[in-house]
Each structure stands twice: as C-alpha cells, then as structure tokens.
Chain A
Amino acid sequence: MALDIVRADSVGQAAGVLAGDDGARFLAGGTFLVRAITAGDVSIRTVVLSDGLGLDRIALGDPIEIGSAVTMAQVLGEPHLGFLHPVADSIGGPAVRAMATIGGNLFAQSPYGDFAVALLALGASVVSEGADGEASQDLEAFLAEGPPRGRIVRAVRFATPAAGAFRYLKITRKHPHGASVLSIAAVLPVPGGTLAGVRVAYGAMSPRPMRARAVEAALEGRPLDAAAIEAATKVAADGTMPEDDPQASAWYRRAVLPVHLRRLLSGEEG
C-alpha cells in the first residue's frame, strides 16, 4: 500500500536498488506500471524513477541509439527517424505517446509492443546495465528470455535500414488509434534485385512480439515478386500463437494475417 519512491543518481545505482529488492520496479512512462499499482498489485512496494538518468536521448550515429526513456512523442519529433514515425504514431493518443517509452514497450505483452515489433524487424540490440556492468543482447533473445531481473535497459541500437526497405502496418478496430489486432514490421532490402537480409516481425500474434522465420525464409534470395509474396503468404501463420482478447480472437488473427502480410509485401498497405 505504501509505496517507496527512489530517485537514483545513476543507472548503476538504480540497478542496485532493483537487484536488492523483490518489490522494486523501474518506472519509465508508467502507462503500464502505474496502472498496475492503482489496480492493487501489492507486490510493487518500491519504484525507482527513470527521471534524471540521462536515458531520454537519441543518438543519430551508425548505429542509431535510442535511450530507453525516450517517448513515442520524442521519436515523432526527430525528423531523422522518419521511417519510425508511423510506428510511434500508432501507439495511443497524444497523451499516451507523450508518456510511453521505448524501454517500456520492450516489456509489453500482446496486444501491445508495437515499437518492439519494429525494432525486432530492424534487428536491434538491447543495451542494459546491471551490477556486473553493461551488456548488449539481441532483442530477440531479450524477448525470449523475459525481462532481466535487476537490469535496466539503457538503450536500443540498430543500423539505419536501406531507404524504403522498412515497412510497417498495424490493424486496429478503433480508429485512428487502438490496440493491435495485429501489427507487422519488415525490413526488405533488395540490394541486387533479390531480397537479402529479410527480417519480418509480428505483434499480437504471440504473447510477445515475434519474428516470422518461415516468412523470412520464403522471401530470402528471391526477387520481391508475386511468386515470392505467394510463397510467404502461405507460411504467414507458421509458429504464431495469438491470444483471444477484446480486439480479436486468436482464430481471427490467424485468418487475417496472410491477407495483411500480402498487402504489406505488395505495397498495398503500410
């Protein structure tokens, strides 16, 4: 009931508090965490604020580095991240976008986590800090292993995709903004006329954002033509484990996924 508030001076110090206390959580935008506190999650006894730790910066080098406390609104305010604007713009209304952070989005469960879906397609790595110092991990592994206890995500890093190679679409029932029926992000580089280094990721098609390996394999090495798109569409739902929720049933998600994947790949949508 009583909640301790900790303002740390450094990420290392904050990570120390988290490591030493089961009831401690790192508070970024709070769009999930505060909701949990208000709903009566009594396991949360301490929050460590992300404020003032310098995690809210975007570095436009190569790779691009986005601090974990950067909000969707900040991404939208950065012209050099134009290809990510449709992603940030699809997450909640203006107030949610002004609060929700990139770091928090990595911890989201279906139907949320749309930014993480985009990062998965971009092949991002996650930089985190704990008692043993800083470490970098592939986002896919990070998502698979679950949130690291006592570690704080500092930033995500990814290489700028080739011009026009990044595609994103999100299907919602509520317009213009809503939770995902599903979302798809893809990086489709065609350096020499054929696809090379394809990455496709889904949101709301499993409990956490996932990569569509079968689709990637069906596309890799081929020109992005009707035959390749057909082959990818056939295996669209491979490995997916969608859930039933108020947005859509698992059945519906599986049924419409190939349609939206085809539209994304053929450029009709997204």
Chain B
Amino acid sequence: MLKKVSDYLRGTQVWKSIFRHGPPTTARNRAMVMLANVFLHLHPVRARSSGIRLSFTWCMGGLTFFLFLVEAVTGILLMFYYRPVAASAYTDIMALREDVPLGIMREIHRWGAHLMVITVWLHMFRVFMTGSYKPPREFNWGIGVVLLVLTLLLSFTGYLLPWDQLAIWAVTVGTNMARAHPVIGHEGPLEGILKFEDVDFVTSGNDIRYALLAGRFVGEATLLRFYVLHCIAVPVMAMVLMAVHFWRVRKDGGISGPL
C-alpha cells in the first residue's frame, strides 16, 4: 500500500520536477543525489572510509556548522521581539519567557552558543591530534583559527544584549583590557609617544576602548554597537570564512588521511 503511494508520488510531474533521479538505492542514484542537490554537494560523492568515521572526526566541524545555523534561525526569531535600546532591552528579554508562546527560543540560542564554543574547541583539538593541519592544509588551519576567534566574538558580543548585571559587568571586564592596548589605549604602555607638546592624542575619549564601546563606559551606545556586530558584522564575516573553509576542505583533498 505504502509502496503504491510512493510509487505514484514518484511518478508525478511535481516530484520529477524536484528530484531529477530515481530513489538513492543504486550506486548511480546515490551519486546523483550528491551531485544534484546544492546543499549535499558541499560533500564529495565518494570519500575515504577512514576519514568519515565518527571516531576520526567526532563530527565536531559539522556540528559547529549546524549549531551556527541553529543560532542564525533562533537569532532571527529573537530579533522579532528584542529592541536594542537600554529602556526596553531588559524587559524585552524578560517578556520572551513570559509572553511569547513556546518561550524557549532564548534558551536554545544561549545554550546553543555555549555548545558552539565547545564544539569548535573540540574540532580544533581533533584537527591537531590527527595532524590534519600539515601540508596541504596549512592555510585552512589558519582560516580555522580566525573562525575560532569569530565564534568567541559572536558569543561575547551577544553576552551584552540581555542588559542585566551579568551582561554589562562581563563586558566591562572584557573590554577594560582594551584601554591598556599599547600606544592606542589611553592607559597602555607608550601611550605618551602620541603626545605633542601639551596635546595628548590618546585619551579616554578617543582611544581603542572608546571605539569599541562608543563611550567611556558600557552604555546605551555600546548596546547598539554590540547588537550590530552580533547580528550582522560578525556573522557575515563568519559565513564568508566558513564558505572558504569548506571549499578548502574539498580542494585540499577532502578530510585528511595517511598519505
């Protein structure tokens, strides 16, 4: 009965217009799936059996990417409800749990972000332990390091948005270091070399920390700045670099294996 229905469906013009090949039961059709589908075709058609083992990659790179997608989806849902201004940020976050149906979007977004930090570290650990950064994959390792930093930055910029005590103080502690940046932080070493007669060119009102916070301390303008970084700037950078990363995994000969 079921077989009949599925055979009928597969015969319809609609089905055939979407899937241009038969069911993936034969070797030929299994190759066709991978080639014809734009998403699946991130993968090669065939791969070394040692490389795709769960015990070899721990699937950590794949899960990092998956969690990035989860964060993108839940993040967009959160953006419907959240306004990045000091007067409403906190209450908007509180309302997410109480007023929004199925209010676990914030939970999924937050714990997903932590999980992504975890998986990206474990991914780096795996790549190191299998020596997969060695030629020809040196460059992709470098891309990976930048992705790691971007992942941490995504988490960090998001930390401020609930606008509670935890948020502003964690971000205050984090960004306080910037004022000690050599030369361009107003309390950093060699800050004085950019001084001309009495005019100090690096002050608390224009140094690198000011640029990060849009102010002398974490305030309303910081919230907007972090919001834009968190929702647009950093994710876009991460997406571009992930595209390069995946492309290079393929171009460097697929997942590594003994030479």
**Chains A and B are bound partners:** no
Chain B residues proximal to chain A, CB less than 8 Å: none
